Amino acid sequence: MTTVRLTVGQAVVRFLDAQRSERDGTRHRLIEGCFGIFGHGNVAGLGQGLLEAELGGGLRYMQARNEQAMVHAATAFARTRNRMSTLACTSSIGPGATNMVTGAALATINRLPVLLLPGDVFATRVADPVLQQLEQPNAQDVSVNDAFRPVSRFFDRVWRPEQLPSALLAAMRVLTDPAETGAVTLALPQDVQAEAYDWPAELFRERVWHIPRTPPDPAGVARAAEAIRSARRPLIVAGGGVIYSEATHALKEFAGTFGIPVGQTQAGKGTMRFDDPLCAGAIGATGTTAANELAARADVVIGIGTRWSDFTTASRTVFAETGVRFVNINVASFDAAKQSGVAVVADARAALDALALALAGWKTEPAYRARAAELSARWQTTVEAAYTTRRQPRPAQAEIIGVVNEVSADTGIVLSAAGSMPGDLHKLWRTRDVAGYHVEYGYSCMGYEIAGGLGAKLAAPDREVFVMVGDGSYLMMASELVTAVQEGIKLVVVCVDNHGFASIGNLSESVGSQRFGTSYRYRGPDGRLNGGFLPVDLAANAASLGVYVLRTRTIEEFRQALVKARAADRTTLVYIETDPMAGAPPSDAWWDVPVAEVGTLASTRDARASYEKAKERQRPYL
């Protein structure tokens, strides 16, 4: 057997560089590069391996500012590439490693592949406790990296070089399995990373991971077709799985052929153009009146590639018809079985093709399709009004969304994650392109926005990426602006400053908690946080990081600045203050946020009474 003598760190880098993914005959590089922040836990192991790779034209290394952010960037990269490619992330031990745990949870929840390589404590334990080592008196084999186990779809710790080949192969299998994918973590003890071993040369050959289009079980298709044929008011709920499977064309055909309107989840908002007569837009707690009215009366709901999040079902209230039934097309049996649905465990495209054959000759009533088109057209009038509110003295967030929608045109990508922006975008964004809508709402993680924008732009350098970030999220993690500047990666960042947490302020008010602790204010004379606004200057902050900054006040200034930002050749931040009290148009959907059952405040008691009334609408969907 031919062998190659390399350290574990060098072997990992060389192996990753040789991995490929393939679907429908097209090959991709599976791991396009590696983000990292070095410390004693990886500098001499993986760090040395990455240096040799850079000098030899191997795996590309990029320096990040924050380990959480680099995982977000890798995740956004994978999402933009429809999960066919991703990035690896290397960290030191201890805090560098645990900083990645939040990113791991986000990737796993969103079903997005990302490879995490945290350093770990000495396998030999000679230098125990090394700097940053957690000591558990009752278990010497535990390190902080065990925190990755519940948030990873695969976890291994390579205590000995001999274990590496099986760990790497298993990691690639999970990354490329559409039903299992998520964060994949290989913890690498710092001494093991530097250790040399004679590896079989075979380990480093180019390896292709074929991503299957799993066909559905014919009996499952028959059951699904029977349920759909019995429906008078069917509704499709399209999720991110439709996009990852590249099934948007199949969805359009299917909906059109059978006359079934489509509601979209956050991850599925790119599945159909906003002006398709069968596109009812966003569904659920942040839904449109069109989709939610159709949902309220739907008798059969066909979920495609959705994990049925709480927001999608408006906390199990949006599907209100007695006896409503579900059909779930999903590549993961875990998701296909939800809402007690008829499960079709398959790739979305393969399942739609099979189901279309089984439904041949059937169609919804013309009156139903006309009603769906009318509801969607009415919602578009609402959107137009929201885009042109002309709120004074500070514009409404909906007006900002309108301008970004216009300026980003057909090929821009809008990206957001937390605050009031995701809900407003879900309702109001006019989707024109499948990749144009990137809102992370599985974990809705403040701080994803700028880091995610970096990853999306790396994955799609030909597109303009418009990052929509609130002041709260900006303050939580704007660090990767520096990475964008360093790498010459151009982002357009729209910083919407409403001096605090507008979303949680509104939520707080609705649950009787009086916007407590949600705006950025000094302490007032009574010792409470109700004084003047804090003098934070986020525009100056961005400029200090090397970003080109355009400050705007009115909506006209904002439009001009955004056009300028689009034309600029470097990362540009457009700053605007908005009115936190100007919310998006309602769709009367509910979200279950439990209110204090007892309390001294009248606001709490009133909110509790409304809460108990709303709870009555909740359905088990059994």
Ligand X SMILES: Cc1ncc(C[n+]2csc(CCOP(=O)(O)OP(=O)(O)O)c2C)c(N)n1
Among 152, 483, 503, 508, binds ligand X (CB under 6 A): 503
Among 498, 513, 571, 604, binds ligand X (CB under 6 A): 498
Report the nearest approach of ligand X to the CB of residue 114 (Å): 18
Question: Which residue's C-beta sits nearest to Mg ion?
Answer: 470
Report the nearest approach of ligand X to the CB of residue 424 (Å): 8
| Angle made by CA atoms 367, 306, 186, in degrees to the nearest 5 | 170
Q: What is the 3-state secondary structure (H, E, C) of 331-398?
A: CCHHHHCHHHCEEEECCHHHHHHHHHHHCCCCCCCHHHHHHHHHHHHHHHHHHHHHHCCCCCCCCCHH
- Contact criterion met (CB below 8 Å) for 62 and 34: yes
Task: Give the one entry of ligand X, Mg ion, none that residue 39 binds, where binding means its C-beta sits below a cut-off of 5 to 8 angstroms depending on kind.
Answer: none
**Closer residue to Mg ion (CB): 240 or 580:** 580
Q: 497-534 b/e with 16+ CB inside 10 Å = b? A: bbbbbbbbbbbbeebbbebeebbbbeeeeeeeeeeeee
User: Considering only residues 416-445, where is the footprint of ligand X by CB under 6 A?
Assistant: 418-421, 444-445
Residue for token pair 């596109």: 279
471 makes contact with ligand X (CB under 6 A): yes
Report the nearest approach of ligand X to the CB of residue 503 (Å): 3
User: Considering only residues 156-215, where is the footprint of ligand X by CB under 6 A?
Assistant: none
Tell me how crowded residue 54 is: count the other CB atoms within 10 A of its CB. Answer: 13
- Contact criterion met (CB below 8 Å) for 587 and 288: yes
- Contact criterion met (CB below 8 Å) for 105 and 151: yes
Task: Give the one entry of ligand X, Mg ion, none that residue 504 binds, where binding means its C-beta sits below a cut-off of 5 to 8 angstroms depending on kind.
Answer: ligand X
Region near ligand X per CB under 6 A, out of 16-24, 42-50, 204-212, 501-509? 501-509
90 makes contact with Mg ion (CB under 5 A): no
313 makes contact with ligand X (CB under 6 A): no
**Closer residue to Mg ion (CB): 403 or 576:** 576
Residue 8: closest CA among 154, 203, 234: 203
498 makes contact with Mg ion (CB under 5 A): yes
Strand pairing category for 465-470 and 437-439: unpaired
Task: Give the one entry of Mg ion, ligand X, none that residue 503 binds, where binding means its C-beta sits below a cut-off of 5 to 8 angstroms depending on kind.
Answer: ligand X
470 makes contact with ligand X (CB under 6 A): yes
Among 46, 502, 576, 584, binds ligand X (CB under 6 A): 502
335 makes contact with Mg ion (CB under 5 A): no
**Closer residue to Mg ion (CB): 276 or 471:** 471
**Closer residue to ligand X (CB): 412 or 419:** 419
**Residue 28 parent element (H or E):** strand 26-29
- Contact criterion met (CB below 8 Å) for 486 and 547: no
**Interface pattern 455-494 for Mg ion (x via CB under 5 A):** ---------------xxx----------------------
Instruction: Please give the Cα distance from 113 to 172 (Å, whole number).
Output: 10
Task: Give the one entry of ligand X, Mg ion, none that residue 17 binds, where binding means its C-beta sits below a cut-off of 5 to 8 angstroms depending on kind.
Answer: none
CA dihedral 308, 312, 316, 322 (to 10 degrees): -90
Binding site for ligand X (CB under 6 A): 418-421, 444-447, 470-473, 498, 501-504
- Give the footprint of Mg ion on this chain (CB under 5 A): 470-472, 498, 502
